[in-house]
Structure 1
Amino acid sequence: MTAAERPDPAALRDLAVALAREGAGLARDMRRGGIEVADTKTSAVDVVTEADRAVEDLLRRRIAEHRPDDAVLGEEGDDRPGTSGVRWIVDPIDGTVNYLYGLADCAVSVAVEVDGDVVAGAVVAIWTGLTYAAAAGAGSTRDGVPLAVRPVPPLAERLVLTGFGYQREVREHQAACLAALLPEVRDIRRMGSCALDLCHVAEGAADGYVEAGPQPWDHSAGGLVLREAGGRFGVLRGRHTAEAEPADVVVVGSPAAGWDEFVTALESAGFLEPVHA
């Protein structure tokens, strides 16, 4: 794709925002009528609701209407190939367990890649409609207000967000890593949505995020929001142990200025394969 052919990231962001807001509205409406578990995926606690499927179907239809030549990668449906060099990455409900229970942190996440690079994204909180958005080179916003990460405190004063996988052996490994990390930081929070956790770091509501196992639909939009707010985001290699084989993928985010110290702490805690030795 030539530079002249590349779509405008700001225009893609605006469309992502519109789609994510519509999806969040549908999820809210369906939850008011009562939602039950429709299926499970990797384990009995990794649930899917009818709203997950309905919201993803809506997002896929809208993308096809607006940009029929684009590819789509979604959490609940089959990949759709495209011919334009543009791919949409959608998570209809990030934080499905929170959504099922009516808890706060759940969102619709929509990201857009061009030639493999994420250039636009939106994360919309389902209950409130709070909207995080970003376009490559244009910064990130929360309800239109520009975002910036917090100044970096010493490691011992950092609030770290995390999440847990759905398979027993991965959880056991994560718990051991967190037990090692906790004495080194201010505190740890588990909110329940990767996309929103990354946005929380972007808005200065936390100092770091780490989780083993999130997939592109979980982190693509939130990762861009964080980067455009002055943060750094990476998908790194997790550490394997003799007792368990945790997910290879570990998603990490922090203010850019605090990245190296945070990654070193995660290596020491056992989250990551050491690369600074």
Structure 2
Amino acid sequence: MRGLPRPWDGEPGHGVSTKSTPTDVVTASDTAVETLVRDRIAHLRPGDAVVGEEHGGEVAATGVAWVVDPIDGTVNFLYGMPWYAVSLAAVRDGVSLAGAVVEPASGRVWSAALGHGATCDGRPLRASGVSDPALALLGTGFSYSPQRRTRQAAMVAGLLPRVRDIRRAGSASLDLCAVAAGWVDAYLEHGCNWWDWAAGALVASEAGAVVRVPGPTGSVPPDDGLGADAVFAAAPGIAVELAALAREHGAAGV
């Protein structure tokens, strides 16, 4: 579906539409991939609920549900950049039991099972051993809302002089996997949905990162000053100090 060098030519009418804002895009590939995943789950796990970014769904009171983001990093996909993924997690009672984040462009498979560690293509993952936030590489992301982007930019501006550097790669699930691999030392983003982090947060946690996520279906966790919908994952040696820096620079108000 992707095509080369880009899956579209920048003109309307090529299977691209928008959702919450003009910059929040969805492609025909997003919906087709989610349909494929739903069909496979229905065959392999008949009766299980599915919650997906494009087709919605509800979690049953009991049993296993599947949370799918058919293309996490749709804008990257749209422009031909290879940093995008398919994210799938099996959850029960809001807790991720197993998850996989698959990169079609590279073929890498990031996966984890609760209590059984995390791997990339079968190789065990471990978060970095950095102990000084000033030497930390921080991943982040931005909302589709212009007003929220302004607040996020202000927080990032405050953090930037206090860390090694900041990266914005464009895929929450892969950013969390990058924390698991030690490719970045931490990741902080506000406004992610359940399907964005259901698998990646488990990969990061099972790799030893300190992970904080919102309630899975919109419920608000205890107030810790990071903001109700913040996703935060960090190497254990910097997690406390970096979270404090984020609070200092307005995370709660983002």
Do they superpose with TM above 0.5? yes
Distance 2:143 2:58 in 1: 26
Distance 2:93 2:60 in 1: 12
Tell me the residue number matched to 2:208: 230
- Structure 2 vs 1, CA of residues 83 and 64 (structure 1 numbering), >3 Å: closer, same or farther? farther
Residue 93, structure 1, aligned to residue 64, structure 2: no
2:228/2:252 contact within 8 Å kept? no
Residue 209, structure 1, aligned to residue 180, structure 2: no
Q: SS where residue 256 of structure 1 aligns? A: coil
Tell me the residue number matched to 2:244: 264
Normalising by structure 1, what TM-score? 0.81
1:75/1:217 contact within 8 Å kept? yes
Moved over 6 A (4+): none
Output one character per residue of 1:91-124: Cα deviation in whole Å (capped at 9) or x when no partner: 0000000000111210000011022211100001
Identical amino acids, percent of aligned pairs? 46
Distance 1:166 1:103 in 2: 19
Q: State the 1:253 CA deviation.
A: 0.6
Normalising by structure 2, what TM-score? 0.88
Distance 2:36 2:109 in 1: 18
Counterparts of residues 75-114 of structure 1 (less than 5 Å):
75-82=53-60, 85-114=63-92
Q: SS where residue 113 of structure 1 aligns? A: strand
Output one character per residue of 1:32-65: Cα deviation in whole Å (capped at 9) or x when no partner: 2734452211100000000000000000111111
- Structure 2 vs 1, CA of residues 100 and 111 (structure 1 numbering), >3 Å: closer, same or farther? same
Stretches of structure 2 that go unaligned for 5 or more consecutive residues are 9-13, 215-219, 222-226
Residue 31, structure 1, aligned to residue 2, structure 2: yes
- Structure 2 vs 1, CA of residues 163 and 37 (structure 1 numbering), >3 Å: closer, same or farther? farther
Q: SS where residue 152 of structure 1 aligns? A: coil
The Cα RMSD (Å) is 1.8
Distance 2:109 2:237 in 1: 26
Instruction: Return the letter of the residue paired with 2:97.
Output: V
Distance 1:221 1:114 in 2: 13
Residue 139, structure 1, aligned to residue 117, structure 2: yes
Instruction: Return the letter of the residue paired with 1:270.
Output: G
Counterparts of residues 95-244 of structure 1 (less than 5 Å):
95-235=73-213
Tell me the residue number matched to 1:65: 43
1:69/1:83 contact within 8 Å kept? no
Q: State the 1:248 CA deviation.
A: 4.2
1:56/1:92 contact within 8 Å kept? yes
Output one character per residue of 1:60-106: Cα deviation in whole Å (capped at 9) or x when no partner: 11111111121111000030554751110000000000000111210
The structure whose residues are more often helix, as a share, is: 1
Tell me the residue number matched to 1:23: none
Tell me the residue number matched to 2:230: 250
Distance 1:203 1:267 in 2: 25
- Structure 2 vs 1, CA of residues 221 and 81 (structure 1 numbering), >3 Å: closer, same or farther? closer
